[in-house]
Structure 1
Amino acid sequence: MPANKKYLTPSPSQRFAKITAAIIGGLIVAVMFHMALASWFNHVAVIITSTFSAFILWAVLMVVAFLGKNGWKVWGIYLMISLVLFVIFYFGNQTNPLV
């Protein structure tokens, strides 16, 4: 049974944006989230926990990327979230440096 045409993305650039946002953007957000956590909390515990939770978060972000109407907006949201998490990570490393 083929998919209903009204639910398919007609533009190849939108399809490319959604697929790359799901795979690459979701991975960047998941990794930056755990790096930000590790800079403020016990980094050993966060790294051990991230082996499972990063994969789960990445899978959720992959699904979310395909729920959006515009793939480039999803990319923008993922990049903004990554930037905020990077700032948290940066200030966490300045406050709590690993020796």
Structure 2
Amino acid sequence: MPANKKYLTPSISQRFAKITAAILGGLIVTVLFHMALASWFNHVAVIITSTFSAFVLWAVLMVVAFLGKNGWKVWGIYLLASSVLFVIFYFGNQTNPLV
């Protein structure tokens, strides 16, 4: 049974945006989330926990990227989340250096 045409993305740029947001954007948000956690909490425990939680978070973010109607908006949300997480990581690293 073929897919219903109204549910398929007709634009190649939208398809490209969704695929790259799912793979790259989800990975960037996942890594920055765990880096931000490690800069404020016990970094050894966060790294050990991230071996499982990073995969789960990345998979969830991949699904979310395909649920959106506009792939470029998903990229914008992922870049905004990455920026916020980077700021949290930066200030956490300045406050709690790992030296």
TM-score by length of 2: 0.99
Rounded Cα–Cα distance in structure 1 between residues aligned with 2:66 and 2:25 = 12
State the 1:88 CA deviation: 0.1
Q: Which residue number in structure 2 is paired with residue 86 of structure 1?
A: 86
State, as a whole percentage, how many aligned pairs show the same letter: 92
Q: Which residue number in structure 2 is paired with residue 57 of structure 1?
A: 57
Unaligned runs of 5+ in 1: none
State the 1:70 CA deviation: 0.2
Rounded Cα–Cα distance in structure 1 between residues aligned with 2:11 and 2:97 = 46
Q: Which residue number in structure 2 is paired with residue 22 of structure 1?
A: 22
Rounded Cα–Cα distance in structure 1 between residues aligned with 2:43 and 2:86 = 16
State the 1:29 CA deviation: 0.3
How many pairs are equivalent?
Answer: 99
Unaligned runs of 5+ in 2: none
Q: Which runs of 4+ in 1 moved over 2 A?
A: none
CA displacement 1:21-77 (0-9 Å, x = unmatched): 000000000000000000000000000000000000000000000000000000000
State the 1:78 CA deviation: 0.1
Rounded Cα–Cα distance in structure 2 between residues aligned with 1:36 and 1:65 = 22
Rounded Cα–Cα distance in structure 2 between residues aligned with 1:19 and 1:2 = 21
Q: Which residue number in structure 2 is paired with residue 36 of structure 1?
A: 36
Rounded Cα–Cα distance in structure 2 between residues aligned with 1:98 and 1:53 = 22
State the 1:96 CA deviation: 0.1
